[in-house]
Amino acid sequence: MEAEVEAFAAALKKASRAADNTVTSYRRDLLAFRSFMLERAAMVGRRVDEIEVTGITADHIRSYLAELMKNKAARATVQRRLSAIKAFFRYRETTLGEASPARSIRSPKNERRLPSILQPDEVRRLIEFSLSPDDSTPAAMRDRAIFETLYSSGLRVGELVGLNWRDIDEELGMVMVRAGKGNKDRLVPLGEPALDALRAWRRAMPVAWEPDSAVITNLRGGRLTTRSVEMILQRRLAAVGLSARITPHGLRHCFATHMLGNGADLRSIQEMLGHASLATTQRYTHVSVNHLKEVYRRAFPRV
């Protein structure tokens, strides 16, 4: 099975031009399913070194999904792993003509959770808070550039750390997101505070910048990882005293919700976020309705 998974991953990357993260995730999820099958074989006394794909049945897949749910895996995780399995067997149907055992298996319904967001004044506190008396250190300049850019543009954290200086048009106040989710490029506006923060960081960078070099780096000049951005945000939240569980992706939610609350139309927000479907963007209408209800509850005297 391992060889077939590798062949599938290579074909997916080549033929579908899928994003690297998608290919990596599918490969990892399929190898996890293979490990489950190997363990299950060992449990019944069958010592095997490899799993024959032709012997996998719908019951095997259902057992795997049930095991994930028994171990309290998030529904989104179960859905993603089933998607990888379905895609793998669709590939085998197309290339080998063998029926997919996953065809009739339905994905568990997703738990609809509204994204956590900060209010505009909380975002301001997060961005403007100083961790040290000296706001002119390179680290302080970089961190402010990170928060300003994420909130100003609604970029995914992976898109932020993938930016090069060439991608930012200061004159137009726009940033080009290259090969975002779905391998699509898009132009997104950047507010003046974000541009100012980026210029300040560029002047303070310990390693000289070039047009094709990374925008967001560590202090040695290497491109910052998404995990590092998450850690920087968590430290800032703790220092500010904000208890909301916000991730870098949460600042994207804040951007969309605050834009909608201030009159932006859904179609424009969809373009800026890079959503393929307007239905994905419409989730923010629910957040705004909840916010309006809370404002009404606090302000109207007869509730």
Residue with tokens 């031009």: 17
Is 258 one of the catalytic residues? Answer: no
Strand partners, 186: 177
For this structure, is 249 an active site residue?
Answer: yes
CB-side exposure of 121: number of CA atoms within 13 Å?
0
Structure tokens at 94: 């197309």
Is residue 253 annotated as a catalytic residue, yes or no?
Answer: no
Residue 103 annotated among the catalytic residues of the structure: no
Q: Is 284 a catalytic residue?
A: yes
Q: Catalytic residue among 156, 236, 253, 258, which?
A: 156
Pick the catalytic residue from 34, 144, 236, 275: 275
Which position among 40, 62, 249, 291 bears the catalytic label?
249
Among candidate residues 60, 236, 252, 253, the one labeled active-site is 252
The catalytic position among 13, 40, 181, 223 is: 181
| Residue 15 CB neighbours (<10 A) | 9
Q: Catalytic one among 26, 91, 151, 284?
A: 284
Residues designated catalytic: 156, 181, 249, 252, 275, 284
